Amino acid sequence: MDQNRTQKELTANLKKKAIEEGFNPVGIANIPGSEKIHLRTAALQRWLKAGFQADMKWMEASRRNNIETLLEGAKSVLVVGLNYYVNREQSKGSLSIARYAWGRDYHRVLTKRLKRIGQWLQAERPNCKWKICVDSQPLLEKAWAEEAGLGWIGKNSNLINKNQGSWMVLGNLLCTELLIADEPTKPLCGKCEECIHACPTNAISEPFVIDSRSCLAYHTIENRSQFIPKEIQAKMGKWIAGCDICQDVCPWNKKKIPSNEDPEVAPREWVMNLTKSQALEWEDTIWDEKLQGSALRRIKPWMWRRNAKAIDINQKLERNK
């Protein structure tokens, strides 16, 4: 059988399998990628040199600079997006939690589904080796998603798809099969800077550059200090876990976005109705129960209480103005 035909069929069937697993969009890039990957890698080094990673030392892993160090002989990467947008809003008066964490831990969801895809691929090509990479692996996932045609990296540093906006998490399956690559996506932000102007802490220091030291998501999720800086507290609003402001204002997210009815994306009720008093009063055992199987488990119980106290301080500051 013609090699090009079998390669084309394998590529098409692999994408079909990914769609069957609930992923959309899906795309493929060849390794080592185009010149744009090299530009993104250089941009990461400038970002790190500027100290914008704050205390996130894992961002400095040298393996992030070369995808080939993650899987010997890797020739292609399947990149998948999982839409986490659901047509619901948190209850009035509740504390704000970023949408990506409303449902089941996306790391588990992506890994489980990508594993089934990898097993299918190995059954088709017994000599094929593969490796799953979610965002805990040292991979420039948004750059590779752009390379694979899933969308473009916006000025808020999120990947944006013209049909689904930026409400999606990304997963990658590296493999040693040479597959047919998709065309990289061209950016469509144009002159729009809504995300930059909307950020309450000016964390988007310039288009495409996020200074984590000023980011609400960083301080509520990654900052392990006992106190959140006062200048950040004053801008927190009701955000106790993450922040969606730069996504909420994006014109691509104001279009009619498909609501995902997948049970693993469905919001947990406590997330939709969390009050300040609950966040402050729940003991560690209650938090442990609530956070089972949730991406929010990264925020330790003492951090939830710290964040809630910071929001209280913020409200007192507002009243005293």
Residues serving a catalytic function are: 135
Strand, coil or helix: 107: helix
Q: Nearest 5°: phi and psi at 33? A: 90, 175
- Is residue 305 within a helix (H) or strand (E), and if so which, with residue range? helix 301-319
Tokens representing 8 are 């084309």
**Which of the 8 DSSP states describes residue 243?**
-
Alpha-carbon separation of residue 146 from 63, 192, 247 (angstroms): 19, 19, 18
Tokens representing 183 are 């065309």
- Rounded CA-CA distance 99/259 in Å is 12
Strand, coil or helix: 61: coil
Nearest alpha-carbon partner for 9 in 125, 175, 154: 125
Q: Judge if the upstream peptide bond of residue 126 is cis by omega within 30 degrees of 0.
A: no
Q: Which residue has the tokens 């916006």?
A: 154
